[in-house]
């Protein structure tokens, strides 16, 4: 195959999970269901937080941002895959692939950084409860989210610009269901040593840095909880962290599973299936984790549902003709 630069390359071919036509409706239905649950669940979390004044706190401010990022993260990959299945096509344009790669890196980095910020919030709440409202003031919360966005945007821009410098072969197949950074880099015809160095360096920084901060925060949290004398106090302190710890475990365990599966079976299918865990399953599970294990969130969702039940008949009544 002849090398082709970015301006000449028309597009890529995204491989599916299976070429069996009989399985395509099943795969399409499964991913459509997961996507709808993800969008509906996360939007419901955001709506419940916005509608309940009791949830206008730093913890739920960060949670609403995480839910928004999860919706965007999933929407970046799943709809294109569903369209390709319905149209019996594997094609994605060069510009579309680079755009998908950019937003994949952007929202993936945001997820990682927001989880670290949420761990810091729990650290301050439990280890410094008397100074919590002073430290975690609204201005600092907004600044932390803005810093996460700026860092993620710059990271995604760096990776995308470096991919644009690569040359690709014609009729290029990407062994994935979306334009994942590692797969795109290793599909290039030219040497990608510098891209690999930058990619692995940023993986260490964005994976190891926030994870180290999370581990440090929760080591201090565990020490503070252990020092609480009453069992009820310990349970209350731990319950505020349980949902976040569950989300962190799911996020990092699924990503670790992707890289371990890729190392054990480098052929594309295993990597693509493993990637579904953190691109689709994790964003889908987050609303369930926070709503099922969080009393305040369950109360807010219940009030939201009751409000809708009351308001909808009233709204319909206003619409009736006199």
Domains of the chain: 3-304 (1.20.1070.10)
pTM for this model (two decimals): 0.83
Strand 11-14 relative to strand 168-169, pairing? unpaired
For the stretch 269-278, pLDDT in tens is 566 666 777 7
Is pLDDT larger for residue 115 or for residue 25? Answer: 115
Contact (Cβ atoms closer than 8 angstroms) between residue 248 and residue 115? yes
CA distance 280 to 287: 13
Is pLDDT larger for residue 236 or for residue 150? Answer: 150
For the stretch 89-147, pLDDT in tens is 778 888 888 899 999 999 989 998 999 999 899 889 888 888 888 999 999 999 999 99
Contact (Cβ atoms closer than 8 angstroms) between residue 202 and residue 87? no
CA distance 235 to 221: 13
CA distance 18 to 313: 47
- Cα angle 318-321-322, degrees, rounded to a multiple of 5: 95
Residue 279 DSSP label? I
What pLDDT, on a 0 to 100 scale, did the predictor assign at position 234?
67
* Residue range 229-257: mean pLDDT, rounded: 72
Confidence tier at 282 by pLDDT (50, 70, 90): confident
CA distance 196 to 157: 16
For the stretch 45-92, pLDDT in tens is 898 888 888 888 898 899 999 999 999 999 998 898 888 888 877 788
């Amino acid at each position: 195959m002849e090398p082709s630069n970015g301006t000449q390359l028309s597009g890529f071919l995204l491989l599916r999970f299976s070429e069996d036509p009989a399985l395509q409706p099943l795969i399409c239905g499964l991913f459509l269901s997961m996507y709808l649950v993800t969008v509906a669940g996360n939007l419901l979390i955001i709506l419940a937080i916005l509608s309940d004044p009791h949830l206008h706190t730093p913890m739920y401010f960060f949670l609403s941002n995480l839910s928004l990022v999860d919706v965007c993260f999933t929407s970046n990959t799943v709809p294109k895959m569903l369209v390709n299945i319905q149209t019996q096509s594997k094609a994605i344009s060069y510009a579309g692939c680079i755009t998908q790669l950019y937003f994949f890196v952007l929202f993936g980095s945001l997820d990682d950084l927001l989880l670290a910020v949420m761990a810091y919030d729990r650290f301050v709440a439990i280890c410094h409860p008397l100074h919590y409202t002073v430290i975690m003031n609204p201005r600092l919360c907004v600044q932390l989210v803005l810093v996460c966005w700026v860092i993620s945007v710059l990271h995604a821009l760096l990776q995308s610009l470096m991919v644009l410098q690569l040359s690709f072969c014609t009729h290029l197949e990407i062994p994935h269901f979306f334009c994942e950074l590692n797969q795109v880099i290793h599909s290039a015809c030219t040497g990608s040593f510098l891209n690999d160095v930058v990619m692995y360096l940023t993986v260490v920084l964005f994976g190891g840095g926030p994870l180290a901060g999370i581990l440090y925060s929760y080591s201090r949290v565990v020490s503070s909880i252990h020092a609480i004398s009453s069992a009820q106090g310990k349970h209350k302190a731990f319950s505020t962290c349980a949902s976040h710890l569950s989300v962190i475990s799911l996020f990092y365990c699924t990503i670790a599973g992707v890289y371990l599966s890729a190392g054990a079976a480098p052929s594309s299918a295993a990597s693509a299936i493993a990637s579904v865990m953190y691109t689709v399953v994790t964003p889908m599970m987050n609303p369930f984790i926070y709503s099922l294990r969080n009393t305040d969130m369950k109360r807010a969702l219940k009030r939201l549902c009751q409000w809708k039940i009351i308001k909808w008949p009233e709204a319909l009544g206003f619409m009736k003709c006199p």
